[in-house]
Structures are given as C-alpha cells and as structure tokens.
C-alpha cells in the first residue's frame, strides 16, 4: 500500500505544511514524495523521517503540468495525496479526472482501513466515509495533523520525462516574506470589520508581532480593504487550527466559525456579549476593542513578551 505525496514548494522552499501532510499520509503506508523543481526543497523533503524516496520533477508549478506528472507516476501507488490547500485543490481534481476516480477531500482524520473523516455543512458536522475504490486520490487539512519528524536522509531521484503544460506562467505576486503562515501558526490574532479602517487594523498587527502570531481577518474585513486576501480565515478563506486564536471585533458568522473549528483555545474581544464568538470562546472580554487591545498590547510589552 504505497503512497505518493505532492509537496508544496513556495519560492523554492518546502512549505511547512508538507511535513504535516507527510505525517498524515504515513499512516497509509510507505511513502515517496514528489517535489516540483527546487533542489533545496527536495533536500528538505528528504530529511522528513517517514519519506522513503524523493522524486524531483522539472520546475513547473502549473496545475495541469503537475497533474500530468502525478498521472504518469500513479500506476505505482495506491494513494496519491496532497494538502487541501489552494494548490492541492487545483491539482488533485485534475488528477482524479484523469484517473476516472472520485477524490476524497479535506480529510482531518484517518479511521482505519480506507475510512476517513472530513467536515461537512460548513464545518458544523463531521462525516466518516469509506473509500472503496482500488486507487485513492486524497487531500488532507494540514492544520489537523502534527508535523513529521526530521532526521532522515532519503535518496533523491530526478525525473527525466518532460513536463508539458497548456498554460504559460506569467508572474507571481508575493506577500511579505516575514508573514507567518496561517495554516501552520500556533497563535493567530484575527480581526473583523469593527476596526473601521486599515489604519485601525494595525492594532491587530502590532499585537500579533508581540505574540509572534499570524494575522487573520474575516471576509468582511478583507472585502472592506482592511486586510489582504491571504489573511482571510473561514469557509471561503483559510482553515486554521492554532493552539490559541484571539478573535477581536469578530461577531462569529457561520462561514468564519467554519475556519476556526480546530482552534484549541479561543479568546474573544467583543462589545456584544451575545455575539456567537463570545458564546463559544474559552475567555470573552466584553468591551471596546479600541480600549482593550492597546491596553493588552501595553501590558504584554511591560511583561517583556516580545518576539
């Protein structure tokens, strides 16, 4: 029961989420990992303990090209796996269509022989399903699994066959290099439209910097222009599972709650004690965020909590 994992490579570097996907997929059997292009990323993948072999393909990150590479390798594997990220959602359905099988997506747990758990109804329920197909195309939520250990030295094999794409890569537009990845962050500070402006949202950024946290935002805050798109958390944004989520000025709309189901602890700062987020929070601070957040930031600075 061999497994092939598609690694995620960002600007030539192996994404931290890949270690979590490898750990999840290792429950299915011995695994190899496909790394698109980067020699540096291939070396990092070879260091992940469960990896048996690294397959390094030509440097082409376009979805149709990666799907074709996976399709050529698929006959040697029972499972082909990726993260349930934007890249995985682009590549894996193409592969499933080429293999003429049904993919199983957004898996958060493996429950035995080809039984998988995934969220449904915007994260309000979990379903366990059985995949009885002879071959399996799967995507896992990286935030639901711990990262694989490092200390391996798996061999790296360079694939010789050409990578052909019908599309042409034009440009990549990147966010700041020092932004912490939301999908794997241990602490996330999230803000809503209650901040009233992009300038007001800087209160969140200052608090997040002190805590060493990733910054998140509701869809309303993103739509209002207070935060960039890649900060959006929720059903139509990123799914997170931090150790601590601090929700500030967030009412707790259903689509946002769907993105924070995996958070271990939630602190809510809100002026409305009846807000949905306040009711599910472990700790709720009721008051004006423009008073509470600066006070909290100042106290943390006094305590020397600065990362």
Please name every residue paired with 4 in a beta bridge, in sequence order, or none if there are none: 32, 80
258 pLDDT tier (thresholds 50, 70, 90): confident
247 pLDDT tier (thresholds 50, 70, 90): very high
Question: Tokens at residue 141, please?
Answer: 């939520």
Q: Which CATH superfamily is domain 182-302 in?
A: TPP-binding domain (3.40.50.1220)
Q: What's the pLDDT at 178?
A: 62
In this prediction, residues 251-264 reach a mean pLDDT of 88
Q: Domain locations in the chain?
A: 3-158, 182-302
> What pTM did the predictor assign?
0.80
Each residue's pLDDT tens digit, 112-121: 889 999 988 8
Per-position b or e across 131-170, b if 16+ CB within 10 A of its CB: beeeebbbbbbbbbbebbeeeeebebeeeeeebeeeeeee
Each residue's pLDDT tens digit, 25-80: 999 999 999 999 889 999 999 999 999 999 998 766 688 889 999 999 999 999 99
| Fold match, 3-158 / 182-302 | yes
Is residue 205 over pLDDT 70?
Answer: yes
Closest CA to 154 of 40, 77, 55: 55
Which three-class secondary structure state does DSSP give residue 257? helix
- Quick one: what percent of the chain has pLDDT higher than 70? 94
Beta-carbon count within 10 A of 67 CB: 22
Closest CA to 26 of 127, 154, 133, 132: 154
Each residue's pLDDT tens digit, 95-106: 999 999 999 999
Beta-carbon count within 10 A of 276 CB: 17
Class of domain 3-158 (CATH, top level): alpha beta
């Amino acid at each position: 029961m061999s497994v092939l994992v598609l690694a995620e490579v960002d600007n030539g570097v192996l994404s931290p989420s890949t270690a979590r996907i490898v750990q999840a997929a290792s429950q299915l059997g011995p695994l190899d990992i496909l790394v698109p292009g980067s020699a540096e990323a291939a070396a990092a993948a070879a260091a992940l303990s469960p990896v048996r072999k690294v397959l390094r393909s030509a440097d082409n990150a376009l979805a149709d090209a990666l799907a074709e590479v996976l399709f050529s390798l698929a006959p040697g594997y029972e499972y082909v796996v990726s993260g349930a990220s934007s890249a995985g959602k682009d590549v894996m359905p193409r592969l499933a269509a080429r293999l003429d099988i049904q993919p199983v997506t957004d898996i958060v747990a493996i429950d035995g022989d080809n039984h998988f758990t995934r969220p449904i109804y915007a994260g309000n329920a979990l379903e366990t399903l059985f995949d009885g197909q002879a071959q399996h195309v799967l995507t896992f939520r990286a935030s639901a699994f711990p990262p694989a250990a490092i200390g391996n030295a798996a061999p790296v094999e360079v694939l010789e066959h050409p990578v052909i794409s019908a599309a042409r890569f034009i440009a990549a537009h990147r966010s700041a290099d020092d932004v912490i990845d939301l999908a794997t962050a241990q602490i996330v500070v999230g803000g809503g439209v209650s901040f009233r402006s992009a300038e007001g949202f800087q209160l969140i950024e200052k608090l997040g910097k002190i805590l060493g946290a990733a910054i998140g935002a509701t869809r309303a805050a993103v739509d209002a222009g207070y935060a960039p798109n890649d900060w959006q958390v929720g059903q139509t944004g990123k799914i997170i599972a931090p150790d601590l989520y601090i929700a500030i000025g967030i009412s707790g709309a259903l689509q946002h709650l769907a993105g924070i189901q995996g958070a271990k602890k939630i602190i809510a700062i809100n002026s409305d004690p009846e807000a949905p987020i306040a009711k599910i929070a472990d700790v709720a601070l009721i008051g004006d965020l423009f008073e509470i957040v600066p006070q909290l930031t100042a106290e943390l600075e006094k305590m020397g909590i600065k990362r």
